[in-house]
Structures are given as C-alpha cells and as structure tokens.
C-alpha cells in the first residue's frame, strides 16, 4: 500500500515546539556532496545514535549533514539505514528557505501518513519506521537557503528545575524524611533524566547528612556535607517524573528553608509526543 509522508517547511518565523529547540553542537558535521540530485547519487547518512549520557558528557555519536547554501529548485537526496519498530526521528533546521521533504523506502514507495506544514526554524518528525531497511530522504529546495539535519535517535539537550521544600522543622538526632511525587510536573519535559541533584539549602550547621533515592533507585544516595550535591546514573532509574525520597539527619533542633535543584537531560521530540 502506498502511503504518504511529506513535510512542507516554511522558514523565517519561530514556533516553539519544546522548551529548547534541537541542538547540533556535538557530533560529526558532514557537508552535503554534489551531485546528489537523484536516488542513485544519494549521500549516505550514518544514523544518529546519541544517548542521554552522551549529551551530558558531550560525546555525541552519529553524523549531522549540512548544506551551506542551496539555490532555488535544488534537489538533494540522502540514503540511510534504520532498524525496525524503533522511534527514528528526522531533526531538521534551517535559517531560511522553503523545502519539500519526502521519505522513500528502497522500492521508491513514499512512506508515512502525515502532511506537515509549519512556519518555523527547526522541527522534528517521527518517521514511524515499520521495517528494517534502506530509506531515502529527498529535500527539494523551492526557495534558496542552508540547512542541517540528523536521522535516528532524538537529539538531547540540558535543562534544570528548582523545587522548594519550604520550611522543615528538625529535631536533634532524629531523621527527617520527606516524599515528593513529581510524576505530574509539566514544567519538566517528557523523558527527562536527572543527572545531577543539588539539595540547595542543606545547612552544615544544622544537618550532618542529606540523602535521596527514587522509586526506581531504592538505595540511599549520599550528598557530601556542605556540598549537598550528587551525580546520578543517567538511565531510567533517575527519570524525573516519579516519586523522590529525601532524608536529612540533623545535629541539632531547628528549622531549615530547603530546596532542590534538578539538572536533567531530555530528548527533543515532535510536538505531538511532548505531552
């Protein structure tokens, strides 16, 4: 069955898709090579295999293709291999130009089921790949401009979120535990993973220890006294949207105005997948 996937991108204005638009700062940037105006001369694109942990340490993998300048009616073709039944994203950015984007399978059938029209500088599409194989991307430049893109895993970016615990009343040598459910916090993007936490407000004169754990990471994690910060494993156990547990061990009776700073990494997704 022939299905249609087309994207018409009109660039020049800004539409906010998510808290931060896709970043191509890391990874291998590859220039488009002419001639590539037919399926047979398509440039090969290595699938983007970026992970949240790589976004944190800056060691992105995969290629990001770039066209420095395009003229009117320019036709560019790219070839890539994708696995089946995984989310594969086309992340596309341009500062100017008007483009038709079409994705084909290796039998020249147009794939997908949506038509995208947007006035924006950067956008993301889920290609909804059903079968492993070779696919082709056609970028037809109706009005001249430059662009860059990646295909494969989503791109990741960094964010932070501050949360106030308010006033906590401590009794000397008696552990104070508090549980917070952050599963419904919409201010933090879907899929966010916390890589560093700061128990802001932890007072060395009032407490000797501050610990935390999550519903999925059930061992207490210590934060050094006076520093009150800790790095966390960059995986599902540290996903932001779950229950978090905090424990303070006071050395004297008193009141602490406490807060938490979450530093997280998150995938930049299409608008319909953000919520």
Predicted local confidence at residue 231, as pLDDT: 97
Q: What is the pLDDT of residue 61?
A: 66
CATH architecture of 157-267: Sandwich (2.60)
Q: What pLDDT is attached to residue 148?
A: 85
* Res 49: pLDDT: 87
Q: Convert the pLDDT of each residue in 211-239 to its tens digit.
A: 999 999 999 999 998 889 999 999 999 99
pLDDT in tens, 38-65: 999 999 998 888 899 999 998 776 677 8
pLDDT band for position 242 (cuts 50, 70, 90): very high
Side-chain-side CA neighbours of residue 257 (13 Å):
0
User: 16 Cβ partners below 8 Å, 6+ apart?
Assistant: none
Q: pLDDT grade, residue 12 (50/70/90)?
A: very low
**Which range has the top average pLDDT, 66-70, 123-127, 152-156, 175-179?**
175-179
Query: 157-267: same fold as 6-154?
Result: yes
Q: What is residue 112's predicted lDDT score, i.e. its pLDDT?
A: 57
Separation of alpha carbons 88 and 95, rounded Å: 24
Residue 188 pLDDT grade (very low, low, confident, very high; cuts 50, 70, 90) = very high
5, pLDDT greater than 60: no
DSSP assignment of the chain: -----EEEEE-SS----SSS----SSSEEEE--S---SGGGPEE-PPB---HHHHHHT---SEEEEEEEE-TTEEEEEEEEE-TTS--EEEEEESS-EEEEEEEETTS-B--S-EEEEE-SEEEEE----S-EEEEEEEEEEE-EEEEEEEESPPEEEEEEEEEEEEEEEBTTB-EEEEEE-TT-TTSPTT-EEEEEE-TT--TTTEEEEEEEESS--S-EEE-TTT-EEE--SSGGGBSSSEEEEEEEESSSEEEEEEEEEEEEEE---HHHH-
CB-based contacts of 141, cutoff 8 Å, min separation 6: 70, 71, 72, 73, 74, 75, 76, 97, 98, 99
Per domain, the residue ranges of the chain are 6-154, 157-267
219: closest CA among 242, 238, 198, 200?
Answer: 238
User: Over the stretch 89-134, which tens digit does the pLDDT of each residue have?
Assistant: 998 887 766 788 889 999 999 885 444 344 455 688 888 888 899 9
Q: Given this model, what pLDDT does residue 100 score? A: 83
With contact defined as beta carbons under 8 Å apart, do 249 and 204 qualify?
Answer: no
Length reported for the chain: 275
Domain 6-154 is found in CATH 2.60.120.380: yes
Tokens 């879907």 belong to which residue?
190
pTM beyond cutoff 0.75: yes
Q: Per-residue pLDDT for 202 more than 90?
A: no
Residue indicated by tokens 């004169």: 205
- Span 166-181, average pLDDT: 95
Contacts of 34 (CB under 8 A, 6+ apart): none
Please check the confidence at residue 79 and state whether its pLDDT lies above 50: yes
Residue 8, pLDDT above cutoff 60: no
**φ, ψ for residue 203 (rounded to 5)?**
-105, 120
């Amino acid at each position: 069955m022939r299905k249609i996937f087309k994207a018409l991108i009109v660039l020049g204005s800004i539409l906010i898709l998510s808290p931060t638009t896709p970043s191509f700062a890391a990874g291998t940037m590859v220039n488009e090579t002419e001639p590539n105006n037919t399926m047979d001369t398509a440039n090969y694109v290595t699938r983007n295999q970026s992970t949240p942990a790589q976004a944190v340490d800056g060691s992105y993998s995969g290629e990001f293709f770039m066209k420095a300048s395009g003229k009117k009616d320019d036709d560019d073709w790219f070839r890539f291999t994708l696995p089946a039944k995984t989310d594969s994203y086309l992340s596309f950015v341009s500062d100017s130009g008007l483009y038709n984007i079409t994705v084909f399978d290796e039998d020249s059938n147009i794939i997908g089921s949506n038509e995208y029209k947007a006035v924006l500088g950067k956008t993301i599409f889920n290609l909804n790949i059903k079968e492993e194989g070779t696919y082709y991307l056609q970028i037809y430049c109706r009005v001249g401009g430059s662009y860059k893109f990646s295909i494969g895993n989503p791109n990741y970016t960094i964010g932070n979120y501050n949360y106030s615990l308010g006033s906590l009343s401590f009794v000397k040598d008696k552990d104070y535990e508090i549980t917070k459910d952050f599963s419904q916090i919409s201010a933090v993007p879907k899929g966010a993973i916390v890589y560093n936490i700061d128990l802001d407000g932890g007072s060395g004169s009032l407490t000797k220890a501050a610990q935390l754990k999550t519903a999925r990471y059930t061992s207490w994690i210590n934060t050094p006294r006076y520093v009150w910060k800790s790095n966390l494993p960059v995986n599902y156990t540290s996903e932001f949207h779950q229950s978090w547990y905090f424990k303070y061990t006071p050395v004297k009776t008193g009141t602490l105005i406490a807060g938490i700073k979450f530093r997280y990494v998150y995938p930049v997704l299409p608008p319909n997948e953000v919520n």
